[in-house]
Structure formats: structure tokens, C-alpha cells
Amino acid sequence: MIPATYPPKDEIARLTARMLLEIGAVHFNADEPFTLASGLPSPTYIDCRKLISFPRIRSTLMDFLSITVMREAGFEAFDNVAGGETAGIPFAALVAERMALPMTYVRKKPKGYGRNARIEGAMTEGQRVLLVEDLTTDGGSKLSFVDAIRETGATCGHTAVIFYYGIFPETERTLGDHGVALHHLCTWWDVLAEARAQGAFAAATLDEVEAFLRAPRKWQEANRK
């Protein structure tokens, strides 16, 4: 179960950024940019999946995520916690355990045999479902999961993630237009601030990362191969 006391939101953000840096989940490389799923370049990459291998950090962040959701959405706001395939599944299970709720997961597409289902586990009409994922960039990938949940007759008005890029202004609008509120622990801005405080990367690298965060589309266009 969750602890009775917890830090304020800004301290949760700082500590989350620190933990992500500590386990090597944060990658900055302006000289050889990473290629995102969109095909666009980025000097930043984050691997939240690594968290499942670090029990103390994993446990603390799942406490933080459960607390954040209950603080922002309500302590009795949900009946079911659903993870998005695949990265969201372990985090949904851990949050569901803390919130004492049933856990389900949502496939990216029907499995193609048997019941041909997208929802695994027991989800029923009228249940209020929290969608849990590892991160979100522009929010677009969440919409398919939300629609699959709603097709069961359940409702889904909230999604919770460990990491939110926080640099694309359309993200919360995209989710909001779909009737979904976003809850998160930290953003690239929090990670950049902590990386500067720690001196975790060369100053020139951090300056280039900041240039990307301030104008991501412009940076991507200038660095497109």
C-alpha cells in the first residue's frame, strides 16, 4: 500500500529525474542524434523500461505515481488499472497493487486468434479505468488504448506516466480533446535541471539539449539527415 506521507510535486519531479539519471535511463547525444519512432532525430532518448530492474527505485516511483494520481484525480476515482502493451504492463501491475484495484492490459492490436481480444483480464461496463504507461511524447499513442478501453463500456478519462516529454504543446490538447487528463512525474526540463546540477554531461551537450527542448521541431528540421 502507499505511504501516508509524500513529497510535494516539485520534489517528486526532481527525485524522479535523479533516479532516471542514476540508472542510466537518460541518454544525451547531440553529435549523433537518436532516431525516434516518428523517424525524426533527437539529441535525447529515455529508456523507462530499465526501471523494472531496480527494485528500490522502481518501488519509490510507483509510490510517487500512485500518490500523484490520487492527489490529482481522487482517492476513489478508479475501479481498474490498465497497462498499455508492452511497457505499461509492469507499471500498471505495481500501481494496481498499491491502489488495491484490479489490473488489466490493453494490446496494441487484436491478437488474431482465440477471442481476438485487445483487453486482457476482467474489465466490465461502467468501470472507471486508469491507463498507465511508461511515458508519453505527443499523446497520440494513448488514444488507441483509450478507445479500446471505452469499447468495453468502461470509461477512461485519465492516463498516468512516469515520464512526459513536456516540450510539445499539442500533447495535453490532443489528450484533452479526447477527454483524457494526463498525470506524470517529471519532464525533460526536470531531467535537464538535475543533469546540470550533477554535471552529468558535458556543458556543450546540455546546451544543445536545451536548444532542442526550446524549439524541438526547428532542431529536428535542422538536423534531419
State how far the Cα of 79 lies from the Cα of 102, in Å rounded to an integer.
7
Instruction: Tally the domains of the chain.
Output: 1
CATH number at residue 63: 3.40.50.2020
Stretch 5-15: mean pLDDT, rounded?
94
Predicted pLDDT at 3:
63
Looking at the domain assignment, is residue 169 inside a domain? yes
Residue 159, pLDDT > 90, answer yes
Q: How confident is the model at residue 140 (pLDDT cuts 50, 70, 90)?
A: confident
Residue 205's nearest CA partner among 28, 47, 21, 34 is: 28
Q: How confident is the model at residue 146 (pLDDT cuts 50, 70, 90)?
A: very high
Looking at the domain assignment, is residue 69 inside a domain? yes
Residue 4, pLDDT > 80, answer no
Looking at the domain assignment, is residue 62 inside a domain? yes
Looking at the domain assignment, is residue 4 inside a domain? no
Residue range 185-213, pLDDT digits in tens? 999 999 999 999 999 999 999 999 999 99
Looking at the domain assignment, is residue 156 inside a domain? yes
Looking at the domain assignment, is residue 3 inside a domain? no
Residue 112, pLDDT > 70, answer no
Q: Pairing between strand 181-187 and 155-164?
A: parallel
Looking at the domain assignment, is residue 92 inside a domain? yes
Predicted pLDDT at 54:
98
Residue 116 sits in which domain range?
9-222
Stretch 42-62: mean pLDDT, rounded?
97
Predicted pLDDT at 203:
95
Measured between alpha carbons, how far is residue 34 from residues 29, 161, 179, 225 in Å? 7, 22, 32, 11
Looking at the domain assignment, is residue 2 inside a domain? no
User: Quick one: what percent of the chain has pLDDT higher than 90?
Assistant: 82
* Burial class of residue 50 in the structure, from the number of CB atoms within 10 Å of its CB (0-12 exposed, 13-18 middle, 19+ buried): middle
Residue range 54-107, pLDDT digits in tens? 999 999 999 999 999 999 999 999 999 999 999 999 999 999 999 999 999 999
Q: How confident is the model at residue 17 (pLDDT cuts 50, 70, 90)?
A: very high
